[in-house]
Amino acid sequence: MPLAIFLVLGIFGKKYFKNTSGIIGTLALLASTVISFIAAHQYFFVDGKVNGVYQKIIAFKYTWLAFSPNVSIDMGIIIDPISIMMLVVVTFVSLMVHVFSLGYMKGEVRFATYYAFLSLFTFSMLGLVLSSNLFQVYMFWELVGVSSFLLIGYYFDKPSAVAASKKAFIVTRFADLGFLIGILILAFYSGTLDINTLIERLTAVQSTHFTSIATAGFLGVSMLTWGLTLIFIGGAGKSAMFPLHIWLPDAMEGPTPVSALIHAATMVVAGVYLVARLFPVFSMDASVLTIVTYVGAFSALLAAVIACTQTDIKRVLAYSTMSQIGYMMFALGVSKQVGENGLGFMASMFHLFTHAFFKSLLFLGAGAVIHFVHSNEMKDMGGLRKLMPITHIAFLIACLAIAGIPPFAGFFSKEEILMAAFHSNKIIYGVALFTAALTAFYMFRLYFSIFWSKESHHHNSHGEGTVSMKLPLIILACCAVGVGFIPFSHFVTADGSALETHTDMLFSIAPVTLTILAILLAAAMYKNENDKPAKAAAAFGALYKAASRKFYMDELYLFITKKIIFPLIGRPVAWVDKNIVDGLMNLLATITAKMSVLIKGLQSGKVQSYALYFFGGIAALAVLFIYLWK
Amino acid sequence: MSASAVIFYLIAAFILGAGLLAVTSRKIFRSAIWLLFSLVGIAALYFWMQVEFIAAVQIVVYVGGIVVLIIFSIFLTQQSGKEMPAPPVKRKIFSLLAAVFGIALIYNLINGYRFIEQPARPFSAAVSEIGTQMLSTSEHGYILPFEVVSMLLLAAMIGCIVIAMKNKENIISEIPGDKIIVK
Amino acid sequence: MNGIPLTHIIFLSTALFFIGMYGLFTRRNMITMLMAIELMLNSVNINFVAFNKYLYPDKLDGIFFTLFIITIAAAEAAVAIAIIINLYRSHRSIDVEDATEMKF
């Protein structure tokens, strides 16, 4: 399918198609998007249902590496509700980003490389969502990590960009270690790497696999919990959950369309997708779900607090992403498997779907603003609403959506999440509510700072942006509005059967009211330039300072690595490597050299010595053959 | 002990003595003369073994040709009067050891082997027979080696001339048989 | 004249051969090395003739070998002298220790 096209573009696009590569990449992606829409249509409306339950279809299976008769790494494509949904999301958002980049990245020297990397990333992401085998997921996981590394570090002459891409890669790699161990644990106990079989084996309570994994313990906790927790760690790294979130703000060094693609819609939701894919197994173990819930909620809250204090618009959006993913995570956490209780799962997936649209819209809008103003900082902007009308409207729509105002998309998905939280855990509900208010606050702070607060001194130097930049904004804005109305629950649920949901109007009053209050507060503080923000910051004092410094997380990490890991672990290992391993090699070399010096003396150049040796050899051979050969 | 046996032992002693002196003499000219004596002794041995033709060839070629050639080359390299330096002691000892070891080995082998002698039949090495066989084309004829050896002699002649020729600037190659441009 | 067993003659030629070998290893002068080589060749000749006479009296092969060896030895000595003279020109000495270009 589109995988082949992406491979071609990824490999050949760099060399052969210089200026047209953008067009080619976009066209290819357009084709893939159309295909994915057709596939979705087929699946959801025509074929997929069997007895009212959406089946998982294995479209394609090829045994690649067989470790034993039972455990083998197959390459396969699985088609089930969440994978089709992700297919649509990934291709559509990627298409928008491609079109936008035609305008944003115009004039870049490495234009073709950029599109090649974009195609590579899309390919890896699609592979990830379509994988039917756990190890295949891991492979594409790593591929996604590599592509994001390439894309974040696209401006490789900026040292901050290089550092950021390294940080992203290292942190996610570190999380992937946990992921790999988790995979191995699960594969060991269930005897298979194929996702479907794995789920079957580990969810049937009577099966031997389940009992063995549930009873085998390590440090007092069952192996099932260990395996699932480790897998969750992997997902948390990729999805920037606390405490592995440090790479996400720095990853904003990449070009803005890249941030839209990777950090809004696709890569960061890979973790959520992983948990959703293995959800039946997760739901067997309540402790893991609790971990998921609390980590998600805490990340959401933390990110929202930090976002209130940032001045770089992309960083604000990054923390907002982290917060929203936290929402998705804890929605999964509070969910259960079957029927009504599967509300959290459905809500999480729905939020993923809508979030993709409005977050990418936000990023692309920010990209347009940055392109216009040539700076990332909020203090350089202001009063842009007259200068960039289309961007202004699109941005406003996206902010309303993320804040959860009806009838925009975010309202519906957020409501579902809040309802799920309300049903299972009141504390989480409270946290979620507060975070929703904070979300509205900082988003509108951002909005007002960019478009309202002071009179702009920018003149209309090069216009708002080309058509290619405006078009995606418009399309995504329409989606942000309309997508909320899709009866998502009919399509994607935990166990495949349709779930009837209804929006409870009474229930929604509390969140919406809080949100509107937060918006008004933000308007009061930021709409016109004044010193209220400064006073508020002073009032919060230490909390504000800590939040604006991201709660010193980075410093903590740096401390740990520099003071503890490097001297205690890194140095000794390096010493061993240099002196013992290398020393052994050097010893071999020295011995050889010494021996050769010794033997060298035989080649004296004197004919008679040679003759002597010659005769000696003959005599020895003669004696050997005549007397000693039996 | 018959007279021929005595003569044989005398000749043998002469040969070996002269040979020893040839390889250990300090002065090069003396060494050449001792070699000459040794070769003459070997010719005497051939006479005693009743292969007169070989003896004659030995004297004509070896003594009259090669030793004279050696003596001329000693003159050419202006070495005749001087004393030659002695070889290093280590080398002498090793060589002596090697030689003694070799002799012992062969002696051992010879003694262990039963040579089947056939003294009864007469041995005639008449020149006419030699000549006939050398030029015959039958199975035991040596005409082919004869011709080849003549070619070899030709090649050796040309080669010597080329190698020993005084190097003028215009000599292009020293491979015998190549065209040589000499000014 | 055949009171002498074959082994005596063989022993004589062996001794001569190893005397020549000793000279080959020991002598520093290239011309004296050549002389030693001649001694060795002669010892081989004696061997051939003796074997022919004692073991195969009705054939003449040994004699022919001897003849050819003498011939070839002559040619070889000539070429050797030519080489020695050439080396003398370039090294100004016929000491074999001075021609050590093949040293490591």
Residues of chain A where predicted confidence (pLDDT) is lower than 50? 1-2, 13-18, 48-54, 337-340, 494-498
CA dist A496 and A82 (Å) reads 10
For residue B125, tell me if it sits in a domain: no
Phi and psi, residue A58, nearest 5°: -95, 110
CA dist A441 and A436 (Å) reads 9
Contact B87 C28 (CB under 8 A): yes
pLDDT value of position A251? 78
| Shortest distance, CA A605 to any CA of chain B (angstroms) | 15
pLDDT at B124 over 90: no
Contact A606 C21 (CB under 8 A): no
Phi and psi, residue A69, nearest 5°: -55, -25
Convert the pLDDT of each residue in B101-122 to its tens digit: 888 888 888 887 777 766 666 6
CB interface of C with B, residues 32-51, below 8 Å:
32, 34-36, 38-39, 42, 45-46, 49-50
Return the half-sphere exposure (C-beta side, CA atoms, 13 A cut-off) of residue A259: 33
Contact B99 C81 (CB under 8 A): no
Other C-beta atoms within 10 Å of A129: how many? Answer: 23
Convert the pLDDT of each residue in A241-252 to its tens digit: 777 777 777 777
Contact B105 A622 (CB under 8 A): yes
Give CA separation, B135 vs B128, B145, C62, in Å: 11, 10, 16
pLDDT value of position A191? 67
For residue B124, tell me if it sits in a domain: no
pLDDT value of position A16? 46
Total beta-carbon pairs less than 8 A apart between chain B and chain C = 224
| DSSP-assigned beta bridge partners for residue A218 | A221
pLDDT value of position B25? 86
Chain A interface includes C99 (CB < 8 A): yes
CB interface of A with C, residues 559-618, below 8 Å:
600-601, 603-608, 611-612, 615
Q: Is B27 left (phi over 0), alpha (psi -120 to 50) or beta?
A: beta
Chain C interface includes A461 (CB < 8 A): no
Banded pLDDT at C35 (limits 50, 70, 90):
very high
Chain B interface includes C99 (CB < 8 A): no
Q: How many helices (H) and strands (E) does chain A have?
A: 27, 6
Is A569 exposed, middle or buried (CB count within 10 Å of its CB: 0-12, 13-18, 19+)?
A: exposed
Chain A interface includes B98 (CB < 8 A): yes
CA dist A144 and A126 (Å) reads 10
Tokens of B159: 């080669």
Return the partners of chain A (3 or more C-beta pairs < 8 Å): B, C
| DSSP-assigned beta bridge partners for residue A131 | A77
The DSSP secondary structure of A415-429, one letter per residue, reads HHHHHHHHHH-HHHH
Q: Which residues contact C8 (CB under 8 A, 6 or more apart)?
A: B8, B12
Output C77 or A191, whichever has higher pLDDT.
C77
Contact A608 B102 (CB under 8 A): no
Q: Which residues contact A504 (CB under 8 A, 6 or more apart)?
A: A415, A419
Chain A interface includes C89 (CB < 8 A): no
DSSP letter, residue B82: S
pLDDT value of position B54? 92
Amino acid at A12: F
For residue B177, tell me if it sits in a domain: no
CA dist B63 and B68 (Å) reads 7
pLDDT value of position B16? 93
Return the half-sphere exposure (C-beta side, CA atoms, 13 A cut-off) of residue A418: 25
Q: Which residues contact A378 (CB under 8 A, 6 or more apart)?
A: A311, A312, A313, A446, A449, A450
Q: Confirm if A526 and A536 have CB atoms less than 8 A apart.
A: no
Q: Which residues contact A170 (CB under 8 A, 6 or more apart)?
A: A247
pLDDT value of position B129? 79
Contact B91 C5 (CB under 8 A): no
Contact C63 B125 (CB under 8 A): yes
Chain B interface includes C84 (CB < 8 A): yes
Nearest residue of C to residue A609 by CA position? C25
Q: Confirm if A327 and A432 have CB atoms less than 8 A apart.
A: yes
| Shortest distance, CA A591 to any CA of chain B (angstroms) | 29
Give CA separation, B140 vs A4, B125, B130, B136, C66, in Å: 82, 15, 11, 8, 16
Which residues of chain B have a CB within 8 Å of the CB of C57?
118, 121-123
Q: Do strands A57-66 and A217-218 pair parallel, antiparallel, or not at all (unpaired)?
A: unpaired
CA dist A353 and A336 (Å) reads 20
**Closest of A450, B122, B19 to residue C37, by C-alpha:** B19
Which residues of chain C have a CB within 8 Å of the CB of A604?
100, 103-104
Domain that holds residue B86: 3-112+131-164
The whole-model pTM stands at 0.61
pLDDT at B179 over 70: no
Tokens of A367: 């990209």
Contact A615 C25 (CB under 8 A): yes
Convert the pLDDT of each residue in B10-51 to its tens digit: 999 999 999 999 988 888 888 999 999 999 999 999 999 888
Nearest residue of B to residue C63 by CA position? B54
| Shortest distance, CA C102 to any CA of chain B (angstroms) | 19
Q: List strand residue ranges (DSSP E) for A154-251, in order.
A: 217-218, 221-222
Total beta-carbon pairs less than 8 A apart between chain A and chain C = 29
pLDDT value of position B120? 60
CA dist A434 and A399 (Å) reads 17
For residue B67, the domain's CATH number is 1.20.120.1200
SS3 A66: strand
Can you list the domains of chain C with their CATH numbers?
29-101 (1.10.287.3510)
Which residues of chain C have a CB within 8 Å of the CB of B4?
1-4
pLDDT value of position C68? 93
CA dihedral B27, B33, B35, B41 (to 10 degrees): -150
pLDDT value of position A630? 57
CA dist B174 and B163 (Å) reads 7
pLDDT at C17 over 90: yes
- The secondary structure element, H or E, covering residue B127 is helix B127-134
Which residues of chain C have a CB within 8 Å of the CB of A607?
96, 99
CB interface of B with C, residues 77-116, below 8 Å:
77, 79, 84-85, 87, 91-92, 94-96, 98-100, 102-103, 106-107, 110-111, 115-116
For residue B93, tell me if it sits in a domain: yes
pLDDT value of position A497? 45
CA dist A285 and C99 (Å) reads 89
DSSP letter, residue A453: S
When scoring C25, C26, C28 by the number of chain A Cβ atoms within 10 A, the one with the most, hence best to mutate, is C25
For residue B15, tell me if it sits in a domain: yes
Provide the domain count of chain B.
1
CA dist A433 and A415 (Å) reads 10
CA dist A551 and A554 (Å) reads 8
Q: Considering CB atoms only, which of A605, A608, A615 is closest to C101?
A: A605
For residue B118, tell me if it sits in a domain: no
Contact A619 B94 (CB under 8 A): no
pLDDT at C89 over 80: yes
Contact A603 C103 (CB under 8 A): yes
For residue B179, tell me if it sits in a domain: no
Chain C interface includes A630 (CB < 8 A): no
Is B160 exposed, middle or buried (CB count within 10 Å of its CB: 0-12, 13-18, 19+)?
A: buried
Chain B interface includes C86 (CB < 8 A): yes
Convert the pLDDT of each residue in A360-385 to its tens digit: 888 888 887 777 776 666 666 666 66
Q: Confirm if A282 and A292 have CB atoms less than 8 A apart.
A: yes
Contact B15 C16 (CB under 8 A): yes
Chain C interface includes B123 (CB < 8 A): yes
For residue B175, tell me if it sits in a domain: no
Chain B interface includes C87 (CB < 8 A): no
Chain B interface includes A623 (CB < 8 A): yes
When scoring B101, B103, B110 by the number of chain A Cβ atoms within 10 A, the one with the most, hence best to mutate, is B101
Phi and psi, residue A64, nearest 5°: -100, -50
